[in-house]
C-alpha cells in the first residue's frame, strides 16, 4: 500500500476507489440494500467484466435494486449459500 500511495496516480486511484465504496454504502443505506445483496452485485459485475475489479457504481446500483426485487441469481450467491 505504501508503494501505491507513493505516487500521485496511486493516491488518486485509492481516493477514487474509496469514494466509490463510500457512495455504494450511502446508496445501500438510502435504499435498504443489505451487504449481502451489494456484495453479490459487485461479484456479478466483476465476473461479467472479465475479472475487472474496477466496477462501475451505476451498474452495481442497478444490479442491487434488481437483486432486492427479484433475489440474487444463484451464480452470484456467496459460496457458503450454494
For the record, the C-alpha cell of 57 comes out as 457504481
Domain map (residue ranges) of the chain: 2-81
Q: Name residue, grid cell 449481502.
A: 36
Phi-psi group of 32: left, alpha or beta (phi > 0 → left; psi -120 to 50 → alpha; rest → beta): left
pLDDT in tens, 32-65: 999 999 999 999 999 999 998 889 999 999 999 9
- Length of the chain equals 82
For the entire predicted model, the pTM comes to 0.80
Percent of the chain with pLDDT over 90: 62
Q: Count other Cβ atoms within 10 Å, centred on residue 20.
A: 15
Amino acid at each position: 500500500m505504501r508503494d501505491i500511495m507513493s505516487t500521485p496516480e496511486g493516491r488518486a486511484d485509492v481516493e477514487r476507489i474509496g469514494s466509490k465504496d463510500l457512495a455504494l454504502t450511502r446508496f445501500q443505506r438510502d435504499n435498504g440494500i443489505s451487504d449481502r445483496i451489494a456484495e453479490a452485485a459487485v461479484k456479478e459485475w466483476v465476473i461479467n467484466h472479465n475479472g475487472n475489479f474496477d466496477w462501475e457504481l451505476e451498474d452495481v446500483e442497478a444490479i442491487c435494486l434488481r437483486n432486492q426485487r427479484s433475489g440474487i441469481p444463484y451464480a452470484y450467491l456467496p459460496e457458503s449459500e450454494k
